[in-house]
Amino acid sequence: MSFIKEIYNYVTKNIKLGEMKMYTGKVIDFHVHVGNFSMLRNDIQDLLMLKNASRDFDVQKVFSEPAHLIPYLEAAGIEIAVLLGEDGPGTNYHITSQFVCEFRNRTPDEHKDMFVCLGSLNPNKITSTPLEKYHFDIESGVLGYKLYPSEHNFDPLSDALLEVYSEMEKNRHILMFHTGESAQVDSVDKWQSPADFKMIPEKFPNLTVVLAHGGKKKYADEAFDMLIKYPNVYMDTGFITTSMLSEMYPDISKVVDKILFASDLPGGVSSLIKYIQNFREMSLSEDEVSKILY
């Protein structure tokens, strides 16, 4: 049972930790972006539309409407999808924690259990303290954050943020960071390497830390070292093809427990079903593949 299922059951179904029913289990997608397509900055819209012809889904609809996203995820066998906020310049600051929670709330009751929300905290955008913002966001229903220090240009190790991480650790919330290089024009040349975040799992050994994109190719070694060294550190496969993943981690079998399947929809894949199939075709055992997928 992966920690996301534990947390999810704990919060949504009030089942005590350690007493979880087993899932019949399909796939958990740890990295899905939603928003209002027309509100994205123009260059980001263009970037997403560029590959639209090769996709088996309509970017604008799947990104913007639960009614389109849900059947697309279901068709690929996704049981739980983690929806991510992004309160930054590329989204024209519209994908706030509240936006993702409202998106989830727009889903029909029978599908509400499908979504887990990780909000967005951008210290450059808030008027309250980060800790106050965190308390406000958990009222809306987020189960953690995805932070973008390099893309939103802030220090992820500031005292004010460490205070938030400490609370998140107590609440069993999830802390995800963008790692690796960025396609966004605003990103700064800092806080891209997973090694930059080392202090966090050391200081908060019970906080679940997810290195989105596993540092991608450039910092794959740093990510691998952290997966090995810290029991509470994971990576997700957002924007990484399966062949790239095998190249990034030649010793992948050592870390299959720490790899979370992630599509990075809508930008990260041209076909979700094919992407999942690619994992099944990797030279890994069935058990190893299922550890990655769920």
Q: Which residues bind Zn ion (CB under 5 A)?
A: 264
Query: Measured from the CB atom, is 169 or 264 closer to Zn ion?
Result: 264
Rounded CA gap, 228 and 254, in Å?
8
- Smallest gap from residue 265 Cβ to Zn ion (A): 9
Rounded CA separation 94/229 (Å): 36
CB of 86 to Zn ion, least distance (A): 8
| CA-angle at 81, arms to 242 and 26, nearest 5° | 65
For Zn ion, the closer CB: 82 or 284: 82
Report, in Å, the least distance between residue 20 CB and Zn ion.
28
Instruction: Report the distance separating Cα 71 and Cα 152, nearest Å.
Output: 32
Q: How far is the CB of 31 from Zn ion (least distance, A)?
A: 6
Distance between CA atoms of 218 and 68, rounded to whole angstroms? 34
Q: Using CA atoms, how far apart are residues 231 and 127, in angstroms rounded to an integer?
A: 35
Interhelix angle for 272-280 vs 66-75, to 10°?
A: 30
91 vs 98, beta carbon nearer Zn ion = 91
Minimum CB–partner distance for residue 96 and Zn ion (Å):
16
Spatial CA neighbour of 174 closest among 226, 138, 128:
138
Which DSSP symbol is given to 265? Answer: B
Tell whether omega for the bond before 130 is within 30 degrees of 0, i.e. cis. no
* Nearer of residues 79 and 264 to Zn ion, judged by Cβ: 264
Q: Quote the least distance from Cβ 254 to Zn ion, whole Å.
A: 25
The nearer residue to Zn ion, 66 or 268, going by C-beta atoms, is 268
Measured from the CB atom, is 43 or 139 closer to Zn ion? 43
